[in-house]
Amino acid sequence: MGSRASFPIVPLSEDRVIMVTGANCGLGYQIAKWAAMMGATVILACRSVDKARAAMEKMHEEFKEEKTKGTSNMTEKSTLCLEFLKVDLGSFKSVAQFCEDFKKTGRPLHVLVCNAAKLLSVMKQSGLDCRIIFNSSKAERFASFDIENISFTGTKRNYPVHSCYNQSKLYQIMQMFAMSRRLTGTNITVNSLHPGIVETEIWRYSHSWMKRCWIFIARCFCLTRTPIYGATFAIDLVVNPKHAGVSGLY
């Protein structure tokens, strides 16, 4: 596979529906693009219409480039099967409306990357080998479970971005284990992963001198990864047949 990150390129059917949240940039972009290039129908669940459209255009261009390179096992179609659905994951109301809108389409859903669990009823009726995948982080090691403060109740001005990020990743892993137990014996598997320290848009929130020093050190010692390398294991979990039936792993 040359210098590209290593993951299997598995021919997928257009009937296999994969939903990726935050697919307009970073890890989500790479996961959505490669799943589509393997032939699946991919739904980009994003907040910004303009950014989603720009991302889809870029995916089509990069698909043409891969075709030119002669990358094997990609879809034989001339265009990618990409769709957009708007959702603001910072709003419970938006997430609930998004789920209802998708249910009304009557479509199946086989793989869900980084989303809430409100689409379980759809996935349970979507046939064999349905997967939920959480992109988590080892940042969870810097968090602790505190049921009294599980939800931030302060103002936007004093919102502790990084500590809340750490907490969210811990809760995400806890959610994965809980869901995996509850879904034992069903057609749905649930797993979580740490993609490494990836150069994504989350870095734009690093304003303190301590965070900037950490970023500088990480870059100097080549500890950071590009989005495509960070997305490698997630893509593998999305498309690789060998992961069918595997659940409850971080």
d(CA 61, CA 67): 10
Answer yes or no: pTM beyond 0.75. Answer: yes
Domains and CATH numbers, the chain: 17-141+172-198+227-243 (3.40.50.720)
d(CA 215, CA 162): 13
User: pLDDT truncated to tens, each residue of the chain (250 aa)?
Assistant: 445 567 889 999 999 999 999 899 988 999 999 999 999 999 999 999 999 999 999 999 999 999 999 888 899 999 999 999 999 988 889 999 999 999 999 999 999 998 555 899 999 999 999 999 998 877 777 777 777 777 777 777 776 667 777 878 888 898 999 999 999 999 999 999 988 666 655 555 555 555 555 555 555 555 556 778 778 889 999 999 999 999 999 9
The pLDDT of residue 206 is 53
